[in-house]
């Protein structure tokens, strides 16, 4: 089973290619959707890495895949500039999911 990267910049793609992960650089929603569809059509790809900026362009599609499909696993990663999410992002998601406030 392979990993595949969908990135918005060449630096992230080059770095992961050095680690053996193939990928593409795309711009915009339509190119992102096209790359994701191609990755999902390849039965050898089990994990799709996608940069946070691109994932923010297609949150509805990402949610649908995560909720309704067993393959591929979609992992949102920061790019070379770091994460764009607030520091309490994970705690906030856990609080929303569990329904209680964690400190």
Q: Kindly list the domain boundaries of the chain, sorted by start residue.
A: 2-98
Q: For 29-74, what is each residue's pLDDT tens digit?
A: 999 999 999 999 999 999 999 999 999 999 999 999 999 998 999 9
Which tokens belong to 22?
A: 């193939």
Percent of the chain residues topping a pLDDT of 70:
83
What is the distance between the alpha carbons of residues 46 and 102, in angstroms, rounded to a whole number?
A: 33
Read off the pTM. 0.80
Please report which confidence band the pLDDT of residue 17 belongs to, taking 50, 70 and 90 as the band edges: very high
- Residue 37's contacts (CB-CB under 8 Å, 6 or more residues apart) are none
* Answer CATH for 2-98 from 3.30.1180.20, 3.40.630.40, 3.40.50.10580, 3.40.50.720: 3.40.50.10580
Instruction: Say what angle helices 28-41 and 59-68 make with each other, to 10 degrees.
Output: 20
């Amino acid at each position: 089973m392979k990993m595949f990267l969908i990135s918005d910049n060449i630096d992230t793609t080059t770095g992961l290619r050095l680690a053996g992960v193939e990928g593409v650089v795309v711009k915009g929603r339509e190119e992102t959707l096209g790359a994701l569809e191609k990755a999902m059509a390849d039965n050898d790809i089990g994990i799709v890495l996608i940069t946070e900026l691109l994932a923010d362009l297609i949150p509805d599609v990402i949610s649908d895949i995560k909720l309704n499909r067993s393959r591929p696993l979609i992992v949102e990663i920061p790019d070379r500039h770091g994460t764009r999410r607030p520091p309490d992002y994970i705690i906030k998601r856990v609080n929303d999911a569990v329904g209680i406030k964690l400190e």
